[in-house]
Amino acid sequence: MPDIPSSRLPGFHRLDVEARWRELARRGDVSPEELHVLRALGSPSFDILNQMIENAVGVFALPLGLGLNLTVNGRDHLVPMAVEEPSVVAAVSYAAKVVRHAGGFTADADASMMIAQVQLTGYGSPELARERLLAHREQLLALANSFHPALQRRGGGAREVQVRILPAPEGPQGEPLFIVHLLVDTQEAMGANLLNTMAEGVAPLIEQLTGGRVYVRILSNLADQRLARASCRIPLAALADFDLPGEDIAEGILQASRFAEADPYRAATHNKGVMNGIDAVAIATGQDWRAIEAGAHAYACRTGRYGPLSRWTLEQGHLVGRIELPLALGMVGGPIKVHPGAQLGLKLLRVTTVRELAMVFASVGLAQNFAAVRALGSVGIQKGHMALHARCVAVTAGARGLDVEKVARLLVERGSVKVETAREILASCQAVTAP
């Protein structure tokens, strides 16, 4: 395997964008052709857009940043992140740096097992219908696989048939829900289209075997057979910051974790922080981030009560963070081979398999969460956030070019990061420089 360049790029944030491009090219993160793609990301060819969605009339661009310092299972990864929110990229880079010095993230991911659902109605006796279907398990699997023979040749394909009988939502007078699950190994694909084709394909056989009628047939986005996990272990001394000892910072993080476990109102915001990182890298690598979001939040609710996707504990003098969530990702399929930015994003990440991609995503989610709970449990989130948010406020007030940094700095100094204040500052700067 070729040497992977380090994800440590000291001083990268101080370079202008041209210098950042040169640095990526010098390190071999992007080829000359890819550099061209990177420069042109904001204006892709209209042909590509037209292939992607209907009625395309333009491009809605997002900034693409690079999360730095990430190391997962001993391998370094630059993390492409497409996101509009200030501080997300800085937070993940900071957290990854702390964890890197503590040995990096450890992660693992399940095989790409996805669930297709087929809803059967009018089936008569649920026990008899279940028996009949399971007796024809091999025939159902063979039929499902006949729709994607190449997937089987690649080592994937339909693997299992399950039946779930659920109480009718109307109460005892309603027909219980009879749901057939088809478990499919989608290999390097996210798998939605693969599964939907199979689910639609097996529906007539399910009807024939049971005498029932199939209505809905589609994949489930609760991809709980396809989980990814990441963890990190940080010595307390490495947490010391803001003139506070590591023990104190750790206590704040532990309290934040307890809060999220006990209270769904807090857990929702805790998980939003996790998804700040995961969504950003999902968008930059052409993943279906709505599918990821749906799966993550449904999984967060699996016990019947919404809870945090990540947790923090104190173990033998170390702060230990763990995250687990479903990640239905793809290295192929969807827009991945169509959108040049998605291909570039995957190249920058330097992952070779979809499982490795999921491990990086889970680590990014945990890194993002670490940065958030560390700030929340100590100096508060506004200190770091406002410094970056101030630039947006300055631009909103009309600042351009060098004025942006100047106005942003003055906003933070005054402790009033507001558009009105920015307008006043801008007006006074312009009055000073007017001839």
Q: Which positions are catalytic?
A: 85, 272, 288, 385
332 forms part of the interface with ligand NDP (CB under 6 A): yes
> How far is Cα 234 from Cα 246, in angstroms, rounded to an integer?
10
CA–chain centroid gap for 369, Å, is 12
* Torsion angles phi and psi, residue 208, rounded to 5: -60, -40
Out of 96, 194, 344, 358, the only residue in the binding site for ligand NDP (CB under 6 A) is 194
Q: Which residues of 88-117 are buried (b: 16+ CB within 10 A; e: fewer)?
A: bbbbbbbbbbbbbebebbbbebbebbbbbb
Residue pair 163/178 in contact (Cβ under 8 Å)? The answer is: yes
330 forms part of the interface with ligand NDP (CB under 6 A): yes
For residue 113, the minimal CB distance to ligand NDP (Å) is: 13
For residue 434, the minimal CB distance to ligand NDP (Å) is: 53
For residue 114, the minimal CB distance to ligand NDP (Å) is: 9
Quote the tokens at residue 319. Answer: 């702060």
Compare residues 69 and 221 and give the one whose CB is closer to ligand NDP: 221
291 forms part of the interface with ligand NDP (CB under 6 A): yes
Compare residues 336 and 399 and give the one whose CB is closer to ligand NDP: 336
The residues in 135-164 that bind ligand NDP, with binding defined as CB under 6 A, are 148, 150-151, 154
Question: Amino acid identity of 276?
Answer: N
Quote the tokens at residue 405. Answer: 């940094």
> How far is Cα 112 from Cα 289, in angstroms, rounded to an integer?
17
191 forms part of the interface with ligand NDP (CB under 6 A): yes
In 10 A of CB 359, how many CB atoms?
25
> How far is Cα 31 from Cα 199, in angstroms, rounded to an integer?
41
Compare residues 65 and 334 and give the one whose CB is closer to ligand NDP: 334
Out of 6, 106, 193, 343, the only residue in the binding site for ligand NDP (CB under 6 A) is 193
29 forms part of the interface with ligand NDP (CB under 6 A): no
52 forms part of the interface with ligand NDP (CB under 6 A): no
56 forms part of the interface with ligand NDP (CB under 6 A): no
**CA angle at 355 for the pair 320 and 226, rounded to the nearest 5°:** 80
104 forms part of the interface with ligand NDP (CB under 6 A): no
Part in contact with ligand NDP (CB under 6 A); list of ranges 191-199, 243-251, 364-372, 419-427? 191-199
Out of 91, 92, 190, 230, the only residue in the binding site for ligand NDP (CB under 6 A) is 190
* DSSP-derived 3-state class of residue 102: coil
User: Could you tell me which of 315, 368, 289 has the C-alpha nearest to residue 69?
Assistant: 368
Part in contact with ligand NDP (CB under 6 A); list of ranges 10-18, 88-96, 190-198, 233-241? 190-198
239 forms part of the interface with ligand NDP (CB under 6 A): no
Compare residues 270 and 297 and give the one whose CB is closer to ligand NDP: 297
User: Could you tell me which of 241, 206, 216 has the C-alpha nearest to residue 97?
Assistant: 241
> How far is Cα 38 from Cα 237, in angstroms, rounded to an integer?
40
User: Could you tell me which of 354, 355, 369 has the C-alpha nearest to residue 322?
Assistant: 369
> How far is Cα 129 from Cα 204, in angstroms, rounded to an integer?
14
* DSSP-derived 3-state class of residue 178: strand
The residues in 345-374 that bind ligand NDP, with binding defined as CB under 6 A, are none
Out of 288, 324, 356, 403, the only residue in the binding site for ligand NDP (CB under 6 A) is 288
Compare residues 196 and 416 and give the one whose CB is closer to ligand NDP: 196
187 forms part of the interface with ligand NDP (CB under 6 A): yes
* Torsion angles phi and psi, residue 54, rounded to 5: -90, 155
Part in contact with ligand NDP (CB under 6 A); list of ranges 79-87, 247-255, 332-340, 357-365? 332-340
Compare residues 200 and 263 and give the one whose CB is closer to ligand NDP: 200
Q: Which residues contact ligand NDP by CB under 6 A?
A: 148, 150-151, 154, 186-194, 196, 219, 221, 288, 291, 330, 332-334
